[in-house]
Chains A and B, each alone.
Chain A
Amino acid sequence: MEQKIAAQPELYSASADGLPALNGGRCRACGYVFFPPQRYGCEVCGALPSELEAISLKGSGVLNSFATVYHHQGKGIEAPFTIGLIVLDDGPAVRSTLTARTDEGLQVGDRMHAVLVPAGRSADGKEIVELRFAKEAAGQ
């Protein structure tokens, strides 16, 4: 299988098989689970970076809210696209671009899962992939 590169390798792993996982963190002192990962100190109890461990968060959760962006001034950002707030099964809430360009057919409470979608090629020709969330098909 062709080797793929994550567009944001610090945030998720681009394993080609199965659900992509998010790179989260956990405080060994108080148990707080967080995303994105950081090594500065625990936001809840102030534990030192040495107490923070990297953990893998399942790329699955529930859609809390969504918004389709119709106008965006950013270079290379093509509207419309849709942003969702997803509460991960592992705890943290994350905002992510959804695979669906518009909100048609989306409902708050929908089960969502992470997928990796092509986002161009690197200088040496490898495929770059980006993490998005997609609505789970019924019965999935």
Chain B
Amino acid sequence: MKKTLREMRPVYVVGIGLHRYQRLSETPYVTLGLTAVREALADAGIEWRAVDSAYTGTALIGMAASRPMLRHLGASGIPMAQVENASASGSTAFRHACLDVASGMSDVSIAIGVDKPGPVGSGPAKSNLRDLVGSRAVPFTHFALLTNQYMNRYGVKIEQIAAVAVKNNRNGANNPYAQRQKAVTLDEVMAGPAISGSLTRLQCCPVGEGAAAVIVASGDAIAELGIDRSRAIRVIASVTRTERVYRGAKNFDAELTRETVAQAYREAGITAADLDVVEVHDAFTIEELLYAEMLGLCGEGEGAAMVASGATDIGGTCALSASGGLLAMGHPIGPTGAGQIAEITRQLRGEAGVRQQPNARTGLAHMVGVGAVCVVHVLQKET
């Protein structure tokens, strides 16, 4: 019989670490990754040799990224593998670390996300199926079309959508790991340059380099290794789905998110009203509104009004993209999903400083990736 994560033995996040997301530099990926891993080990208060397995979420580095990086922690011989799942690579690496611990095959597992921008091949490009627009329609244009569709369907103005970037950059300004750490005004967001449709530069996420690491452990390991149980955050759902066939002009990422979130809520035994902190794949302003609606934080077409009301600010009903999200924290691909888990964990521990959402108990992390894939995790502080 199939089991959900919650029906297996409990899994806890016990350590988080990051290397700041930043523009492409000469820093080797090894340095980026080791910085995040060492910070996560220190955060958990454990040694590398306590880690039983490692999954590296990376999409752009190329073959065999794990051991050339992790051997510098002391080659302990543990199983390691790369996990590539487009933008959801880090989220998927985290899922596999969770499954390792939940199944009992590992007591402690680590998920690492690390990437540097660079040329890479892809399945869609190699499937030999052409379309009419080819390289004329890059992702900017895909999301500009969705923006146009949304504005027309709900009578929303672009300024209301662009307000997402103002909120997320305000949060990112207080996140030392964010690529963009500067608050911006709506005028600055709207000032351009215009790239595609109504999308200006600040309505699109920066894609740079960086790393994130998350250590998960079983209850047994927490006791045996002397980890501080009061800072351990339980993972109560791990759900991933892929796109089905949605007819006509339906947005596949939104439909896929709707299905994945519904399953995650069911498995976690929660509803949207339980969420205190949420990180979504806000690579473009329009995406935050679409996914907030699919999450049920508001009704369809009500996302812009919800953002304007302050309900998704830190201190509001549910803090959305408290890290700055992809729009401000950045989207280095491999690290992004693992970095979301780090933010949710920090929030649920009550250690997010000026970004802290008061009394945060339940959080959700959501990523989509080309394919399309969707990965959702629900984390909860045990009382």
Contacts and interface: CB of A to CB of B under 8 A. Distances in A.
Contacts of A67: 141, 144-145, 147-148, 196-199
B249 A96 contact: no
Contacts of A83: 133, 136-137, 141, 145
Q: Which 4 A-B pairs have the closest CB atoms?
A: A67-B197, A67-B144, A65-B149, A65-B148
B249 A68 contact: no
A45 B196 CA distance: 36
A96 to B, nearest CB: 5
Interface of A: 8, 10-12, 32, 36, 38, 43-44, 64-72, 74, 77, 81, 83, 85, 87, 91, 93-97, 108, 131
Contacts, number: 91
Interface string B218-250: 000000000000000000000000000101110
B148 A66 contact: yes
Interface residues of B, number: 29
B249 A70 contact: no
B27 interface: no
B308 interface: no
A27 to B, nearest CB: 11
A67 B147 CA distance: 9
Interface of B: 129-133, 135-138, 140-141, 144-149, 152, 193-199, 245, 247-249
A36 B247 contact: no
A14 to B, nearest CB: 14
A50 B61 CA distance: 39
B154 to A, nearest CB: 12
B138 A72 contact: yes
Contact of B131 (A64, A77, A95): A95
Given A32-B245, A70-B195, A87-B248, A65 B136 contact: no
A8 B130 contact: yes
A69 B145 contact: no
A95 B251 CA distance: 13
